[in-house]
Chain A
Amino acid sequence: GAGVSQSPSNKVTEKGKDVELRCDPISGHTALYWYRQSLGQGLEFLIYFQGNSAPDKSGLPSDRFSAERTGGSVSTLTIQRTQQEDSAVYLCAPAEAGGSYEQYFGPGTRLTVT
Chain B
Amino acid sequence: AQSVTQLDSQVPVFEEAPVELRCNYSSSVSVYLFWYVQYPNQGLQLLLKYLSGSTLVKGINGFEAEFNKSQTSFHLRKPSVHISDTAEYFCAVRLNNNDMRFGAGTRLTVKP
Which of A20-28, A41-49, A73-81 interfaces with chain B?
Answer: A41-49
Count of B residues near A, CB < 8 Å?
Answer: 21
Q: Tell whether, in the assembled complex, residue A105 and residue B49 are in contact, meaning their CB atoms are under 8 Å apart.
A: no
A106 and B43 CA atoms in complex are apart in Å by: 6
Please tell me which one of the listed residues A33, A45, A91, A101 contacts residue B43 in the complex, with CB atoms under 8 A apart: A91
| A42 with B45, Cβ < 8 A, contacts A48-B98, A56-B98 known | no
| A108 with B43, Cβ < 8 A, contacts A42-B90, A42-B105 known | yes
Instruction: Give the residue among B51, B98, B102 with the most A Cβ atoms within 10 A.
Output: B98
CB contact list, B15-37 vs A, under 8 A: 32, 34, 36
Chain B residues with a Cβ under 8 A of chain A: 6, 32, 34, 36, 42-46, 49, 51, 90, 92, 94, 98, 100-105
Q: Tell whether, in the assembled complex, residue B104 and residue A101 are in contact, meaning their CB atoms are under 8 Å apart.
A: no
Please tell me which one of the listed residues B6, B43, B101 contacts residue A105 in the complex, with CB atoms under 8 A apart: B43
Residues in B whose Cβ lies below 8 Å from that of A48: 98, 100
A12 and B105 CA atoms in complex are apart in Å by: 26
Q: Tell whether, in the assembled complex, residue B32 and residue A107 are in contact, meaning their CB atoms are under 8 Å apart.
A: no
A93 and B26 CA atoms in complex are apart in Å by: 24
The reply on A61 being an interface residue by CB < 8 A is: no
Closest residue of chain A to B101 (Cβ to Cβ) is A45
Closest residue of chain B to A42 (Cβ to Cβ) is B104
Residues in A whose Cβ lies below 8 Å from that of B34: 102-103
The reply on A66 being an interface residue by CB < 8 A is: no
Q: Tell whether, in the assembled complex, residue A102 and residue B49 are in contact, meaning their CB atoms are under 8 Å apart.
A: yes
Q: Tell whether, in the assembled complex, residue A1 and residue B45 are in contact, meaning their CB atoms are under 8 Å apart.
A: yes
Q: Closest CB-CB distance, B2 to chain A, in whole Å?
A: 12
Please tell me which one of the listed residues A35, A43, A105 contacts residue B45 in the complex, with CB atoms under 8 A apart: A105
